[in-house]
Structure 1
Amino acid sequence: MLSARMSSVVLVCAFLAGGSPLQADTPLPIMPLPAHMVEGTGSFPIDGGFQIVFQGHTEPRLERARDRFLMNLTRETGILHWPASSVNQPQFVINTAEPSAEVEQLGEDESYRLEVAPARVLLSAPNPLGILHGLQTFLQLVQTSPQGFAVASMTIEDRPRFAWRGLMIDAGRHFMPLDVIRQTLDGMEAVKLNVFHWHLSEDQGFRVESKVFPLLQQKGSDGLYYTQDQIRDIIEYARDRGIRVIPEFDMPGHATSWFVGYPDLASGKGPYRIERKWGIFDPAMDPTREATYKFLDRFIGEMTALFPDAYFHIGGDECNGKEWQANSRITQYMREHGIKDNAALQAYFTGRVQKLVTKRGKITVGWDEVLQPDTPKDVVIQSWRGQDSLAQAALRGNRGILSAGYYIDLNEPASQHYAVDPLESATVKLTSEQQSNIMGGEATMWTEYVTPETIGSRIWPRTAAIAERLWSPKETNGIDSMYRRLAIVSRDLEYYGQTYRSVSERMLQRMIGDVDSSSLKVLASAVEPPKEYAREELGNYDSFTPLNRMVDAVPPESDCAREFRDVANRIAIGKATPSDWQQARQWLTLWRDNDSVLQRYLPQSALTAELVSVSHNLSMAAAIGLSALGSLENRETVSPSARQGQLSSLKSLEAPHAVLLDMIVPGVEVLVAATR
């Protein structure tokens, strides 16, 4: 068994615990940080004795927002009763000037003013959107105090920096049930994201009921799709939370699931089947047949009637054109019409489809590939290629949305996402008028390597950092402050119904069976999934592959490993405190000794047998770290050959094992290098 001292370190280090204490230089323990705040005196008590009063415009959506607010306040404080009316009790006044649009519009006023005083809270906004945001800010401000729960007195005036603050979920590759979608929308409301981009068709599945073309879902979905009534319910659910719903139907590529039921849409001979692997596939719609546009005209008519938002996404990415080039009729059409290459043919297709969307009073959105010399200026470009590509679109007069840098499926750290700004281009300088063409950004959650069980841990809490980048002033960019507040928001998200932390803990327990999972959690605290697209090359995956291993259970970023790197850096430059030295030794000792506990259990399960080498390598890296730490503490000389041998060993330990990265290695490398 682990000693009591080591057990306490487990609680600090386990990846499920996560988080750092709020420090004095953190302005407010919330995300996104507001645009402007002035501190007051005293605090408003949260003791169940205040009432909520509506003034000005009222509507059922505001009443439902109040009920959600009180429910989340109960989860956060444990206080059950909130009186409908009381005499001489503090009041929470909600003052709304006027209604918002029936169908939310891009650029509506989302500002609010929150005044907190000991006897009263006043939340005022031009319309319900600001009220929804202000309620979330108040929830995050609730803190413990000597008198119980309270919110410090202050005045906040807040508004978003960008009008488009989105999250995309790909329901095509792995279908996401309605409860996952609703839970995600709840999280989006908490961090003030306002666009849910629903990717609804892919090579692996067509996910919406079409009454006009029923074979789309009957043959192209494996029975996993949303009915139109379910879609309407989600749209209403999202509107209640100030969130617009933008559908995406990918075309002309990534469309194999369309062709299973309607093969005449395709450019090849078929037969077509739902794809089970991941990647870019050759099948594509035939842009040269009028029948294609007649089909799409009816389909787009049906879907634009179902989705009320003004924006309609047509995809357009990663069409390789191979099926077009293999079709002699299509290549002849290109010659006869002066279409020089596949990009020009896709531009022709996009132009035709864009007219069908415009015909319904909607605005077309597409990925980078749809931007061609003759692309209409009212087509919105969503950029996965980067800020330079987005700036080029803005320079030409097209509006745009940035997703490059916000691909949360790539398991990159929150700091990397946080550093990406939609307006920062290395090569293109925009005027202020041209900058106004950049509407904001979207986090993107592609689902090759997530299931309904694991998607929450890939979205949260890192997406809160992206939400802050898109909401808060540009000058809000302190990485240390961001991480401290992200840990607090991660806890708050759990209060508000997000389950990613408990799911991860359950997955680890499932892997090891009835055995105490503490030692497995220690291992999990030190590893991360591979970054970017490395996982594609480290295993053979398809849509049936179980995603139930440690690589799926651990979060994309290890808080413990990151904090250890920070401590190692302070030690290396001579700025460490005594507690830094103690913490580093405790962590390294725990990681070194944990292997002896785990080796008794790991071989007993197929889910954990692959972790034998991972655990052993962690122990080896920690032992090297303890050796370097001892040399630094005692000011001992380490020979160049010994140091190089340690660094060489660490380099080999950096390689992925069981599709996992040992993330304490970088911190140990810092300590070893410092022994010079």
Structure 2
Amino acid sequence: MKYILILLLSVFVSNAQIQKEQLDLMPWPQKIDLGTGTFALNKNFKVNITANPNSRIFIGATSFLRRLDNRTGLFLPQNFLTQINESPEAELQINCGSAGKIEINENESYELIVTSSKITLNAPNDLGALHGLETLLQLLQNNSTSYYFPTVSITDAPRFTWRGLMIDASRHFQPVAVIKRNLDAMAAMKMNVFHWHLADDQGWRIQIKKLPKLTDLGSNGNFYSQEEIKDIVRYADERGILVVPEIDIPGHASALLAAYPEIGSKVDNGIGSYAIQTNSGIYNAVLDPTNPKTYQLLEEIFDEVCPLFPGAYFHIGGDENNGKEWASNPRIQEFMKKNKFSGKHDLQTYFNMKLIPMLKKHSKKLMGWEEIMTDNMSKDAIIHAWRGVNEGLQPGESLIKAAKSGYNTVLSNGFYIDLMLSIATHYQNESLSKNALLSPEEKARILGGEAAMWSELATPLNIDSRIWPRTAAIAERLWSNENVNDLQSLYKRLKTISFRLEEVGITHIRNKEVILRNISNNQNTIALNDFSNVCEPLKNYKRNGGGKKYRMHSPLTLFADACTVDASDAIDFNFAVKKYLDNKNIENEVVVTNFFRKWIKMNTDLIIVSSNAPLVQPLLPLSQKLSEISEQLLLLIEKKQNSDKSKLNILIEQANIRNDADVELAVLSGIKLLL
């Protein structure tokens, strides 16, 4: 009888009125009103679609059903949706006004109404409906025996029209499967622009049939065929995502010039003058803007590439041209003098302006990194703002300058996820909110932002863990009201969202174990996993030592590759320390000291594993320091005897020195608080 009462109580509690704070929605909707009942899900659940949508809604609704079925195990009977009014008595009614267009400033709003007997999803077009389906999936709740949706009314639309993710496929080639699973994750987070970085110093990644040398000599065999490009563009379109290609010119051109050195700016360019770069960094290789053959070749490239991408935008890069080859070439210097160009920026503007008619021929607008913004640059260009404090600028400075200068602009400064900065850093990026000094017309020129995933240290094995779940927080910053900014709410919701991203194929959780098994030589990985949960990769490009330590073929299957930003145990420990310092009762003390005992045992276990795992050896000095610190802090907190504080401070300093594992102890901030 006691167990029956407990079961009944648990069911009652599970079905009790849900509060907004319990919902794990991301991005958070613009307006949400919870009701008092629930919609009980059963095996007869069906979907019906009306009006005149694009066919992508049938694919989206079918995917919704399969994901719902996989999550609940209900064996839902409805198969692939193929037509309007297929099941007019269905429990989920989707009303799409028209077919949505994959372009910026398209209406992406939706209204979702859940009652106890019916779910209605209204949207002006299928793009909004797709977003509504993602929200509905996130609303799913359960008790011990069943699944249900809370009754709710949601009215939602994005804050910004450009909500993007850039993936660099040049430094490390990312196969089609990697791109597709990230497109699925983008759609789940209501992101709508995939910026595809296809050419750089380290590789040319797109097939040009008239210019086969580009991939023969510039790709090391890793590139996308035109059929693969078309397939990915179609796949993105089905998920409501615009694909923006980037071919970075005139700098970052080593791979292009390895194939066609005759259009380079070296004085005596020729075969062997340029080569694909195997390190990261900024190189001198730059196209020759004074050579007519440069534009002939680029036009041939654009004539093949542009038709593959039906969207209105083409990204030409334009960043980090150091101008050294231009400065050392007398012919180019004479050209600049003749045209009264005051410096490299004038010459690059001349180059960029030559590209505009080539792209306009294909109905494309030129987009480029902020270096293309000069006095004479066409106002039709879109400025991609990326530089910040590290480049001597104030946060948001380039974004605001572009908007005030009459350019449409997109922000990536503050959203560079390859820097391995915390979720909070990206989520609290205030650059987008610094447009208060802009007029309404100027504010409208800020289209939105992009998470930037440069791939110097990202392979198909670890790239998902570098993109997700932090990009989900960026997606919320770009979709939700700017007043949605509570970090504790974000962390709470992100735990569920991170797990759900694996539902669409993201490998950020599962691949960690793959890397740890490699490091442990297929031994028990518990201690390694525990250590990874208190360590984070070095930040701000420190790991790669200015691009000198790792090459494009160097192993990225090491401990730093298994570690992620916002190490889970470090977050919990640092929170426990603050709670303990606020109230030093026995319960709070036990929580903190249990971490120390765990880390002492972890170090012992790592030593055992290392006896048959050479890759564990570089971790031991840091693990040993953490163990010794833990021993000293146990003495200090439990007062069994006096702790040597000077020794503690030395240990902490030593633990803070760069180590061979290329990680940092994320628990040091909490440890320092205790002292």
**TM-score (normalised: structure 1):** 0.91
Partner of 1:430: 438
Q: Deviations over 1:567-607 (max 9, x none)?
A: 212222x1477644332221221012211121112142232
Three-state SS of the structure 2 residue aligned to 1:160 is coil
Which among 411, 415, 428 is matched to residue 402 of structure 1? 411
Q: Which amino acid counterpart does residue 78 of structure 1 have in structure 2?
A: G
Instruction: Determine the C-alpha separation between the residues in 2 that align with 1:301 and 1:620.
Output: 64
Instruction: Determine the C-alpha separation between the residues in 2 that align with 1:506 and 1:577.
Output: 41
Q: Which amino acid counterpart does residue 566 of structure 1 have in structure 2?
A: F
Instruction: Determine the C-alpha separation between the residues in 2 that align with 1:362 and 1:34.
Output: 33
Confirm or deny that 1:668 pairs with 2:671.
yes
Three-state SS of the structure 2 residue aligned to 1:106 is coil
Q: Which amino acid counterpart does residue 536 of structure 2 have in structure 1?
A: E
Matches within 5 A, 1:126-525: 126-268=124-266, 269-270=269-270, 271-386=273-388, 387-425=396-434, 429-525=437-533
Three-state SS of the structure 1 residue aligned to 2:615 is coil
Which among 536, 560, 563 is matched to residue 569 of structure 2? 560
Three-state SS of the structure 2 residue aligned to 1:600 is helix
Partner of 1:17: none
**Structure 2, gaps ≥5 residues long:** 1-17, 80-84, 389-395
Displacement of 1:360 in angstroms is 2.5
Displacement of 1:267 in angstroms is 0.6
Three-state SS of the structure 1 residue aligned to 2:434 is coil
Instruction: Determine the C-alpha separation between the residues in 2 that align with 1:35 and 1:458.
Output: 28
Higher relative contact order (CA 8 A, sep 6+): 1
Instruction: Determine the C-alpha separation between the residues in 2 that align with 1:644 and 1:372.
Output: 56
Instruction: Determine the C-alpha separation between the residues in 2 that align with 1:301 and 1:117.
Output: 53
Instruction: Determine the C-alpha separation between the residues in 1 that align with 2:34 and 2:595.
Output: 39
Partner of 1:544: 553
Three-state SS of the structure 2 residue aligned to 1:608 is helix
Bigger mean CA offset, 382-391 vs 177-186 = 382-391
Instruction: Determine the C-alpha separation between the residues in 1 that align with 2:668 and 2:529.
Output: 18
Q: Is the 8 A contact 2:181 2:504 kept in 1?
A: no
Displacement of 1:118 in angstroms is 1.4
Distance 1:299 1:577, change over 3 A: farther
Partner of 1:91: 91
Partner of 1:585: 593
Bigger mean CA offset, 365-374 vs 644-653 = 644-653
Instruction: Determine the C-alpha separation between the residues in 1 that align with 2:587 and 2:147.
Output: 30
Instruction: Determine the C-alpha separation between the residues in 2 that align with 1:53 and 1:579.
Output: 53
Q: Is the 8 A contact 2:180 2:232 kept in 1?
A: yes
Instruction: Determine the C-alpha separation between the residues in 2 that align with 1:116 and 1:302.
Output: 48
Distance 1:554 1:24, change over 3 A: farther
Bigger mean CA offset, 331-340 vs 313-322 = 331-340
Three-state SS of the structure 1 residue aligned to 2:274 is coil
Instruction: Determine the C-alpha separation between the residues in 2 that align with 1:577 and 1:123.
Output: 51
Which among 613, 622, 638 is matched to residue 621 of structure 2? 613
Aligned-pair identity in percent equals 36
Instruction: Determine the C-alpha separation between the residues in 2 that align with 1:273 and 1:570.
Output: 56
Q: Which amino acid counterpart does residue 185 of structure 1 have in structure 2?
A: L
Bigger mean CA offset, 55-64 vs 378-387 = 55-64
Q: Is the 8 A contact 1:422 1:438 kept in 2?
A: no
Instruction: Determine the C-alpha separation between the residues in 2 that align with 1:83 and 1:234.
Output: 27
List structure 1 segments (4+ residues) > 6 angstroms apart after TM superposition.
84-90
Distance 1:382 1:88, change over 3 A: closer
**TM-score (normalised: structure 2):** 0.91
Q: Which amino acid counterpart does residue 592 of structure 1 have in structure 2?
A: I
Instruction: Determine the C-alpha separation between the residues in 1 that align with 2:201 and 2:248.
Output: 9
Displacement of 1:566 in angstroms is 1.5
Displacement of 1:355 in angstroms is 3.2
Displacement of 1:24 in angstroms is 6.7
Give the superposed CA RMSD: 2.1
Count of residue correspondences = 640
Displacement of 1:25 in angstroms is 7.2
Q: Deviations over 1:225-254 (max 9, x none)?
A: 111111011001001111000000000000
Q: Deviations over 1:584-635 (max 9, x none)?
A: 221221012211121112142232221121221221232243334335xx9x
Three-state SS of the structure 2 residue aligned to 1:487 is helix
Q: Which amino acid counterpart does residue 476 of structure 1 have in structure 2?
A: V
Q: Is the 8 A contact 1:112 1:131 kept in 2?
A: yes
Q: Is the 8 A contact 1:422 1:440 kept in 2?
A: no
Three-state SS of the structure 2 residue aligned to 1:604 is coil
**Structure 1, gaps ≥5 residues long:** 1-22
Instruction: Determine the C-alpha separation between the residues in 2 that align with 1:492 and 1:77.
Output: 13
Distance 1:392 1:494, change over 3 A: same
Partner of 1:82: 77
Instruction: Determine the C-alpha separation between the residues in 1 that align with 2:647 and 2:614.
Output: 34
Instruction: Determine the C-alpha separation between the residues in 2 that align with 1:628 and 1:108.
Output: 61
Displacement of 1:376 in angstroms is 1.1
Instruction: Determine the C-alpha separation between the residues in 1 that align with 2:139 and 2:632.
Output: 43
Displacement of 1:27 in angstroms is 5.8
Confirm or deny that 1:120 pairs with 2:118.
yes
Partner of 1:7: none
Bigger mean CA offset, 289-298 vs 549-558 = 289-298
Bigger mean CA offset, 600-609 vs 411-420 = 600-609
Instruction: Determine the C-alpha separation between the residues in 1 that align with 2:90 and 2:340.
Output: 74
Instruction: Determine the C-alpha separation between the residues in 2 that align with 1:170 and 1:606.
Output: 32
Confirm or deny that 1:45 pairs with 2:40.
yes
Instruction: Determine the C-alpha separation between the residues in 1 that align with 2:362 and 2:563.
Output: 45
Instruction: Determine the C-alpha separation between the residues in 2 that align with 1:194 and 1:140.
Output: 19
Displacement of 1:332 in angstroms is 1.2
Bigger mean CA offset, 307-316 vs 333-342 = 333-342
Q: Is the 8 A contact 1:624 1:668 kept in 2?
A: no
Instruction: Determine the C-alpha separation between the residues in 2 that align with 1:308 and 1:88.
Output: 35
Distance 1:629 1:432, change over 3 A: farther
Bigger mean CA offset, 130-139 vs 604-613 = 604-613
Q: Deviations over 1:136-180 (max 9, x none)?
A: 111111121255111111000000000000000000010000000
Distance 1:628 1:120, change over 3 A: farther
Instruction: Determine the C-alpha separation between the residues in 1 that align with 2:285 and 2:78.
Output: 61
Partner of 1:6: none
Displacement of 1:563 in angstroms is 1.9
Q: Which amino acid counterpart does residue 29 of structure 2 have in structure 1?
A: P
Q: Is the 8 A contact 2:48 2:87 kept in 1?
A: no
Instruction: Determine the C-alpha separation between the residues in 1 that align with 2:638 and 2:462.
Output: 40
Q: Deviations over 1:161-216 (max 9, x none)?
A: 00000000000010000000001001001100100000000111100011122211
